[in-house]
């Protein structure tokens, strides 16, 4: 069968995560009394699977050549949104026509990864120099800044892993890493002082000291930990977790969806999902290792780094190991744009895998 | 097309490092998952439980208190209270503001209640009661903002007799912290008996709290009921009180300051127990307004004092029948012994005046009681001395609590030389004994003590234990007083009402039952010659006393009446006693208004020696 040309492990992992995603959304849809959530998620997951296969059978090198044009288009869209998009939940991050709509920033990230891969691949044998670093940084920073202005800090932050991975895979020398680290620290300090809103600072402080304001900012993390812990070994049964069903769990269909799954399916179910994610991410890196060219290796590696970072950070947040940042869990969290973007990225990796042998 | 394969080894090396990092991160997440779910699972499950479960206290309705015929003295009516779940408070200041705006109390009081609720944060506390519909609507409208608040249906005391039963029933008050620690059935904010029957019989009336465990969602809305432990309502309490008698006493005492006690001399069963002025018991049925409390405490008439068992009065002439019985019993006086009253007696070189300046002429014991002749009792006191006098008083139960089933009873005062040296730091003067002989000076009794003493006079000489609930009764204790002595004294007391010169003969006109008794008028300040008591300022007027009983031949009811600064016992206290006795025996008390009574019918105050300056002694 023709599908065999794709990576079966990646496809299987996608399928497992998608099933878990639907079940978890089905449960939280009941809790939130919005049955449409689970059916829409199902549609997006099926669409995502189709997209992954379709992109998998395309040529990632063609997409890379289109990347500069797509990138320019992305910047135009993001700029336009700052002016035109309606404010929803305090941010201009969503556009739509009628009931169809989405967050373009999710798709922009894929375009940025393609362009970053293209640039990193151009270095060929040479190691990245300062000019290369600046070029890569500028490419990532422009859309990141536009998204941060929406303001959607969570999504903006997910661009960072891609940039770092590109620099890393591009072969940035150590002294530049050190300089970059110092710059990042300075930027973080400046961001703390001028950019972060008081509630965002409070979240970070809450994470560092969990006893701080247990009823205010710490509430989400505490409820999340209770939900996960209460799941025990085998869970409380689908749609039977009291933390989610009685809505103690905040943002349960988006940021904290993993807590719903962990509460209702316990350590067994959570480990299964964790394993599926591990397989999916490991396969992305293995695809990068198997890539025929630098472009494929960097693109697959960047996709792997981005999805790993987002997954690990979200899970760390749900499990109380990281502050609440509004980072969603790829494929599991509710949202069509995110699923579509993730599927396109996985499809690119599938393409890299399918074309891993030279002269195909 | 010739393809130059890239040298991918550096990229692959770095990709492998990312892979290792990613796998390491996943192992860390897995370890965390293991800790949370498998090792600490039980603990988090408990937290999840307490998250969703709310324990609602179900207040036990207090038991009804009824009179001897089953008529309610205190009953319950539905009411709504506001519960505060301290653990659910998100912003304490915001909640306090809301509660204050709700109008349940002023800000300081609300702040204090919330602070107290926080101290036992695992339990909900009653933060307000007797909510109006508007207040309930306001709480319901802000349900989402203040999920720590919950309106709860409960019951509230209601008082069919109003202030007439205030002291008898007593006040409810919030349970104090020390009591809370002793009794697991109590919880913060709960009301318990603080005085009166409510306090004495808290263990019967109080009942046992129930529990309702409900599942709530994150907004505090009840999702389902998980378990319910029904409260055990307090048991009803049937008292010996006769509501009709209590009402009659209250009506007769309208506008007066003092006390009425009516009891059955055969058993000690109390039929009426009234103290005026009273407080409004409705306002003590829930959270007490501090302003009302301050007003009561500051009131110079002490409306919170239960005068029937707590106020001490010099018994005045009402002591005379007791002393007469004692003297006849031990032979200090024979029934025929008489003295000649000239209106003044010289003892120890001092003049002691009888209340009737023109004198009573020759009086024996019956006549001395009938006319309340002071001279007779001056001589008796002189002849027997303080020890015998006080021994007789103690025989009738004076000087110690009667043991009535009400809290805070006063013991009264029966003086002695030892007492004088210890308390006053001076020896007892023989002249004082003469005053004590007419119930003046350092001799103090409560109205309930007087009623019990008279019960012994008319029930064949038995000291009963007064009680409001049959279970508190005790067998009467014999005093050993011979029936002949008691009969002679009773004959005297009958003449007080029915004799030609009786100090309460105005009551003779009253329809049956035939009543008897003894008047008393105790002076508050030294008498001024030529000033009628009606012309004195209120607080300088004499206390008017009457202790009576009926029917005279076979007494079924004894009543003691004290009207502070009322004037004369015969004209003020006796008619009140008459109405109460009539109500108790089912008769109508007609024509018993003080108006139109002749001056002579009343008895001016007994007089202590001229050099003694009387004073209100409470």
What DSSP assignment string belongs to B427-440?
Answer: PPPHHHHHHHTTT-
* Amino acid B612: pLDDT: 36
Whether B233 and B258 map to the same domain: the answer is no
- Which of the two residues, A96 and B601, has the higher pLDDT score? A96
Tokens found for residue A118: 């293209």
Q: Check: CB of residue B549 under 8 Å from CB of residue B458.
A: yes
Instruction: Name the phi and psi angles at B41, rounded to 5.
Output: -50, -45
pLDDT tops 90 at residue B22: yes
Residue B27, in any domain of the structure: no
Secondary structure class of B151 (helix, strand, coil): strand
Rounded to the nearest integer, the mean pLDDT of chain B is 84
Distance CA A211, CA B36 (A): 18
Q: In this predicted structure, what is the pLDDT of residue B588?
A: 43
Q: Is the pLDDT of residue B77 over 50?
A: yes
The pLDDT confidence band at residue B614, using thresholds 50, 70 and 90, is very low
d(CA B3, CA B551): 134
**Per the structure block, which two tokens stand in for B97?**
């503001």
pLDDT of the residue at B594: 38
Within 33-52 of B, beta carbons closer than 8 Å to A belong to 33-34, 36-38, 40-45, 47-49, 51-52
Whether the per-residue pLDDT at B618 is higher than 50: the answer is no
Q: Examine the domain organization and report whether B255 and B221 are in the same domain.
A: no
Closest CA to A204 of A185, A217, A191: A217
Q: Which residues of A77-94 are buried (b: 16+ CB within 10 A; e: fewer)?
A: bbeebeeebeeeeebbbb
Residue A185's contacts (CB-CB under 8 Å, 6 or more residues apart) are none
User: What is the mean pLDDT of the segment spanning B583-605?
Assistant: 48
Give me the sign of the Cα torsion angle A126, A131, A137, A143: negative
pLDDT, one tens digit per residue, over B537-556 is: 777 778 899 999 988 889 99
Question: A80-89, B60-69, B168-177, B399-408: which range is least confident on average?
Answer: A80-89
ipTM, two decimals, is 0.91
The pair of structure tokens assigned to A232 is 């025990």
Assess contact for B431 and B609: CB atoms under 8 A.
Answer: yes
Which chain B residue has its CA at the smallest distance from A31's CA? B217
Quote the CA–CA distance of B518 and B499 in Å, as a whole number.
Answer: 12
> Quick check: B607 pLDDT over 50?
no
Name the β-bridge partners of B313. Answer: B445
**Same structural domain, B530 and B584:** yes
Q: Which of B238, B254, B285 is the last residue of a domain?
A: B238
Report CB contact under 8 Å: B36, A225: yes
Single out the residue in B180, B214, B238 at which a domain terminates.
B238
B28 → chain A, closest CA residue: A316
Distance of residue B30 Cα from the nearest chain A Cα, in angstroms: 7
Mean pLDDT value of segment B17-38: 94
The burial of A176, by beta-carbon neighbours within 10 Å (0-12 exposed, 13-18 middle, 19 or more buried), is given as middle
Minimum CA–CA partner of A300 in chain B = B15
B89, with CB counted inside 10 A (0-12, 13-18, 19+), is buried
Specify whether the backbone of A11 is left (phi greater than 0), alpha (psi in -120 to 50) or beta: alpha
Structure tokens at B554: 């076979």
Q: Tokens 């609930």 correspond to what residue? A: B469
The angle subtended at Cα A100 by Cα A99 and Cα A105, nearest 5°, is: 130
Rounded to whole angstroms, the Cα distance separating B290 from B305 reads 18
Which DSSP string do the residues of B495-519 spell out, in sequence order? Answer: HHHHSTT-TTGGGGGSPSSP-EEEE
Q: Does A359 touch chain B (CB under 8 A)?
A: yes
Buried b (16+ CB within 10 A) or exposed e, B106-132: eeebbbebbebbeeeeebbbbbbbbbe
pLDDT at B602: 43
CB of A8 within 8 Å of any CB in chain B? no
Determine contact, residues A48/A110, Cβ cutoff 8 Å: no
Task: Give the C-alpha separation, B23 to B397, whole Å.
Answer: 94
Contact in structure between B240 and B272 (CB atoms under 8 Å): no
Sequence-separated (6 or more) residues with CB below 8 Å from residue B559: B260, B261, B262, B263, B272, B451, B517, B546, B547, B548, B549, B577, B580, B581, B584
SS3 helix, strand, coil % of chain B, rounded to 5?
A: 40, 20, 40
Best probe of the B interface among A230, A260, A303, by most B CBs < 10 A, is A230
End-to-end CA distance of chain B: 124
Hey, is the C-beta of A292 within 8 angstroms of any chain B C-beta?
yes
Q: Is the pLDDT of residue B438 over 80?
A: yes
Residue B275 and residue B218 share a domain: no
* Nearest-angstrom CA–CA distance, A2 and B272: 104
Question: How do residues B192-222 score in pLDDT, each as one tens digit?
Answer: 888 999 999 998 888 877 777 777 777 666 6
Contacting residues for B588 by C-beta, under 8 A, at least 6 apart: B511, B582
State how far the Cα of B160 lies from the Cα of B171, in Å rounded to an integer: 15
Select the highest-mean-pLDDT range: A185-189, A297-301, B115-119, B508-512. A297-301
Same domain flag for B186 and B321: no
In a domain, B436, yes or no: yes
Q: What is the pLDDT of residue B320?
A: 94
Determine the Cα–Cα distance for residues A153 and B307; give it in Å rounded to an integer. 76
Q: Which residues of chain B have a CB within 8 Å of the CB of A231?
A: 37, 41
Is B251 in the same domain as B111? no
Cα(A289)–Cα(A298) distance, integer angstroms? 9
Residues B229 and B81 in one domain: yes
Q: Which of residues 15-34 of A touch B (CB under 8 A)?
A: none
Q: Of B179 and B545, which is predicted with more confidence?
A: B545
Average pLDDT of the residues in B397-426: 92
The backbone torsions φ and ψ at residue B537, rounded to the nearest 5 degrees and listed phi first, read -60, 150
Cβ-nearest to A289 among B10, B12, B26: B12
Q: Are residues B77 and B198 in the same domain?
A: yes
CA pair distance B55, B210, nearest whole angstrom: 10
Q: Rounded distance, CA A102 to CA B254, Å?
A: 82
Question: Which of A111-125, B443-457, B569-583 ranks highest by mean pLDDT?
Answer: B443-457
* B29 is a domain residue: no
Residue of B nearest to A217 (CA): B90
Per-residue pLDDT reduced to its tens digit, B259-311? 999 999 999 999 999 999 999 988 888 777 778 888 998 998 999 999 999 99
Whole domain around residue B279: which residue ranges? 243-601
DSSP per position, B518-581: EEEEE-SS---TT--GGGS-GGGSPEEEEEEEESSSS--EEEEEEETT---IIIIIHHHHHHHH
Say how far apart CA A140 and CA A150 lie, in whole Å: 16
Mean pLDDT, chain A cut into blocks of 10 residues (360 residues total): 84 96 92 86 95 94 92 90 73 61 82 88 61 82 86 78 83 79 84 75 65 54 87 88 81 89 95 96 95 90 93 92 84 92 95 81
Q: Is B314 helix (H, G, I), strand (E, B) or coil?
A: coil
Say what the pLDDT of residue A177 is. 81
Q: How far is CA B40 from CA A225, A240, A273, B595, in A?
A: 11, 20, 20, 86
CATH code, domain with B60: 3.90.1310.10
A232: nearest CB among B19, B29, B45: B45
With respect to residue B617, please indicate whether it lies within any of the assigned structural domains.
no
Radius of gyration of chain B measured on its C-alpha atoms: 35
Question: At which of B238, B254, B273 does a domain end?
Answer: B238
Report the chain A residue with the minimal C-alpha distance to residue B218. A248
Residue B219 near chain A (CB below 8 Å): yes
- Report whether pLDDT(B395) > 90: yes
**Contact between B455 and B397 (Cβ < 8 Å):** no
Same structural domain, B403 and B285? yes
Quick one: B253 and B195 in the same domain? no
Under the banding of pLDDT at 50, 70 and 90, the label for residue B529 is low
Q: Mapped to the 3 state alphabet, what secondary structure does A243-304 carry?
A: HHHCCCCCCCCCCCHHHHHHHHHHHHHHHHHHHHHHHHHHHHHHHHHHCCCHHHHHHHHHHH
Query: Rounded mean pLDDT of B481-505?
Result: 91
Residues B447 and B422 in one domain: yes
Interface touch A267/B33, C-beta < 8 Å: yes
CB pairs under 8 A between A and B: 156
Task: Give the per-residue pLDDT at A266.
Answer: 94
Query: In the prediction, which pLDDT does A325 show?
Result: 74
Phi-psi region of B231 (alpha: psi -120 to 50; beta: other; left: phi over 0): beta
Is B283 among the domain residues?
yes
- What pLDDT shows up at residue B107? 85
Count other Cβ atoms within 10 Å, centred on residue A51: 19
Rounded Cα gap, residues B200 and B189, in angstroms = 20
Return the CATH number at B496.
3.40.710.10
* Nearby residues of A78 by Cβ (< 8 Å), 6 or more positions away: A104, A105, A108, A143, A146, A147
Question: What integer pLDDT is reported at residue A314 of this predicted model?
Answer: 93
d(CA B262, CA B160): 20
DSSP designation for A2: G
**Residue B610 scores a pLDDT above 50:** no
**Is B477 found in the same domain as B453?**
yes
Domains in chain B, number: 2
- pLDDT given for residue B406 in this prediction: 93
pLDDT at B613 over 50: no
DSSP assignment letter at B39 = I
**Predicted local confidence at residue B589, as pLDDT:** 42
Q: Does residue B139 form part of some domain? A: yes
Residue B531 counted as domain residue: yes
In a domain, B16, yes or no: no
The answer to whether the CB atoms of A297 and B12 lie below 8 A apart is yes
Using an 8 Å CB-CB cutoff, list chain B residues near A278.
22-23, 26
């Amino acid at each position: 069968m023709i599908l065999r040309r794709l990576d079966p492990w990646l496809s299987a992992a996608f399928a497992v995560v998608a099933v878990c995603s639907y079940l978890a959304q089905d449960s939280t849809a009941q809790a939130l009394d919005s049955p449409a959530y689970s059916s829409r998620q199902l549609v997006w997951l099926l669409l995502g699977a189709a997209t992954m296969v379709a992109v998998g059978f395309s040529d990632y090198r063609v997409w890379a050549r289109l990347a500069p044009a797509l990138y320019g288009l992305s910047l135009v869209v993001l700029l336009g949104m700052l002016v035109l998009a309606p404010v929803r939940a305090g941010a201009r991050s969503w556009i739509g026509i009628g009931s169809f709509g989405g967050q373009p920033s999710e798709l922009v990230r894929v375009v940025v990864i393609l362009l970053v891969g293209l640039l990193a691949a151009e270095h060929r044998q040479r190691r990245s120099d300062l000019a290369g670093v600046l070029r890569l940084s500028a490419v990532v920073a422009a859309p990141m800044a536009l998204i941060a202005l929406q303001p959607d800090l969570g999504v903006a932050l997910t661009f960072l892993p891609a940039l770092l991975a590109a620099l890393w895979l591009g072969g940035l020398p150590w002294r530049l890493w050190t300089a970059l680290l110092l710059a990042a620290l300075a930027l973080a300090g400046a961001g703390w002082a001028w950019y972060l809103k008081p509630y965002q600072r409070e979240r970070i402080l809450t994470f560092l000291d969990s006893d701080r304001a247990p009823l205010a900012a710490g509430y989400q993390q505490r409820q999340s930990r209770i939900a996960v812990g209460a799941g025990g070994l085998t869970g409380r049964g689908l749609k039977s977790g009291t933390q989610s069903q009685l809505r103690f769990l905040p943002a349960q269909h988006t940021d904290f969806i993993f807590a719903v799954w962990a509460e209702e399916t316990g350590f067994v179910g959570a480990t299964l999902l964790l394993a599926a994610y591990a397989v999916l991410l490991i396969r992305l890196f293995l695809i990068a290792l198997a890539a025929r060219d630098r472009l494929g290796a960097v693109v697959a590696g960047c996709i792997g780094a981005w999805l790993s970072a987002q997954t690990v950070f979200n899970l760390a947040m749900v499990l109380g190991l990281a502050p609440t940042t509004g980072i969603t869990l790829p494929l599991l969290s509710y949202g069509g744009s995110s699923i579509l973007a993730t599927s396109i990225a996985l499809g690119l990796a599938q393409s890299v895998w399918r074309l891993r042998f030279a002269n195909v | 097309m010739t393809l130059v394969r890239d040298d991918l080894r550096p990229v692959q090396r770095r990709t492998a490092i990312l892979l290792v990092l990613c796998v390491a991160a996943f192992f860390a997440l897995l370890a965390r998952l293991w800790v949370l779910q498998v090792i600490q699972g039980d603990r988090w499950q408990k937290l999840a439980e307490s998250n969703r479960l709310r324990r609602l206290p179900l207040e036990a309705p207090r038991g009804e208190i009824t009179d001897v015929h089953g008529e309610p003295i205190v009953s319950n009516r539905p009411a709504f209270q506001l519960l505060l779940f301290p653990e659910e408070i998100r912003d304490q200041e915001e909640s306090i503001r809301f509660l204050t705006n709700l109008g349940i109390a002023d800000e300081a009081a609300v702040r204090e209640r919330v602070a107290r609720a926080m101290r036992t944060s695992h339990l909900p506390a009653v933060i307000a009661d007797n909510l109006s519909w508007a207040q309930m609507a306001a709480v319901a409208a802000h349900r989402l903002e203040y999920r720590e608040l919950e309106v709860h249906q409960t019951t509230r005391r209601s008082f069919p007799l109003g202030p007439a039963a205030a002291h008898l029933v007593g006040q409810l008050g919030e349970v104090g912290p020390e009591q809370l620690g002793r009794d697991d059935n109590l919880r913060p904010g709960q009301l318990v008996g603080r005085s009166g029957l409510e306090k004495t019989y808290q263990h019967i009336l109080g009942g046992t709290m129930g529990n309702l465990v409900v599942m709530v969602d994150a907004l505090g809305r009840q999702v389902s009921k998980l378990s319910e432990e029904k409260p055990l309502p307090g048991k009803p309490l049937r008292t010996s009180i006769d509501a009709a008698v209590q009402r009659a006493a209250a009506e007769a005492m309208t506008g007066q300051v003092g006390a009425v006690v009516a009891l059955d001399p055969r058993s000690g069963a109390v039929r009426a127990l009234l103290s005026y002025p009273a407080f409004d018991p409705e306002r003590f049925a829930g959270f007490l307004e501090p302003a009302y409390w301050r007003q009561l405490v500051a009131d110079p008439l002490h409306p919170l004092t239960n005068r029937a068992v707590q106020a001490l009065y010099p018994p005045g002439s009402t002591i005379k029948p007791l002393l007469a019985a004692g003297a006849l019993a031990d032979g200090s006086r024979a029934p025929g012994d008489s003295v000649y009253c000239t209106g003044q007696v010289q003892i120890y070189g001092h003049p002691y005046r009888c209340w009737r300046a023109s004198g009573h002429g020759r009086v024996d014991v019956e006549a001395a009681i009938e006319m309340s002749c002071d001279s007779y009792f001056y001589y008796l006191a002189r002849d027997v001395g303080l020890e015998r006098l006080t021994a007789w008083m103690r025989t009738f139960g004076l000087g110690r609590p009667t043991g009535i089933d009400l809290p805070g009873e006063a013991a009264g005062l029966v003086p002695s030389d030892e007492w004088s040296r210890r308390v006053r730091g001076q020896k007892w003067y023989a002249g004082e004994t003469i005053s004590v002989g007419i119930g003046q000076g350092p001799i103090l009794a409560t109205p309930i003590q007087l009623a019990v003493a008279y019960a012994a006079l008319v029930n064949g000489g038995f000291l009963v234990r007064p009680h409001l609930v049959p279970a508190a009764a005790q067998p009467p204790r014999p005093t050993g007083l011979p029936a002949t002595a008691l009969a002679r004294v009773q004959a005297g007391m009958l003449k007080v009402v029915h004799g030609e010169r009786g100090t309460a003969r105005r009551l003779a006109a009253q329809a049956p039952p035939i009543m008897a008794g003894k008047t008393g008028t105790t002076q508050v300040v030294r008498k001024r010659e030529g000033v009628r008591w009606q012309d004195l300022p209120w607080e300088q007027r004499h206390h008017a006393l009457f202790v009576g009983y009926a029917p005279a031949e076979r007494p079924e009811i004894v009543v003691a009446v004290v009207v502070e600064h009322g004037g004369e016992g015969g004209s003020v206290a006796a008619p009140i006693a008459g109405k109460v006795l009539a109500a108790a025996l089912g008769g109508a008390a007609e024509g018993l208004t003080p108006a139109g009574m002749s001056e002579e019918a009343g008895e001016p105050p007994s007089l202590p020696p001229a050099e003694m300056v009387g004073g209100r002694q409470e």
